[in-house]
Amino acid sequence: MPRNVLRSPWQFRLVYQDGTKIVCKYAILFYHRTGEPNSGPLFGVVASKRVGNAVSRNRAKRLLREAIRNTEHRFTDRDLWVVLVARGAILEATSGDVARDLENALMGEGLIRGHAPN
């Protein structure tokens, strides 16, 4: 079981209420700095019924998890909690599209460093 996952409802609530919101094409990203350098980064992935049926929601969450898996080692801060909320447009996207969109948003906020090595 992955260690870097937000699990409790209070963690999600904290990130939603006290965190910063970034709107991307395929997801809405919320992040919160905990102030504890060894607490993360921790990630949560959400897809509401607005995204579609269960199959669509699971695909959306898989795409977001894969995108974050490819960038998590590049985070500059270790005290972040991040929640990704899928948007409806993600169903038409490829894995590469979602990864690029998320990477651009994270780089724009200064949360990750440079491009991954090829």
Q: What is the CATH number of domain 9-109?
A: 3.30.230.10
- Among residues 36, 17, 21, 92, the alpha carbon closest in space to that of 60 is found at 92
pLDDT tens track for 3-44: 789 999 999 999 999 999 999 999 999 999 888 877 678 999
pLDDT exceeds cutoff 60 at 48: yes
CB 32 within 8 A of CB 19: yes
Single-letter amino acid code for the residue at 90 = I
pLDDT tens track for 71-115: 888 888 888 999 999 999 999 999 999 999 999 999 998 888 876
pLDDT band for 1, please (50, 70, 90 cuts). very low
Strand, coil or helix: what is 60? Answer: helix
Domain boundaries, the chain: 9-109
pTM of the model: 0.88
What is the pLDDT at residue 118? 47
Strand, coil or helix: what is 30? Answer: strand
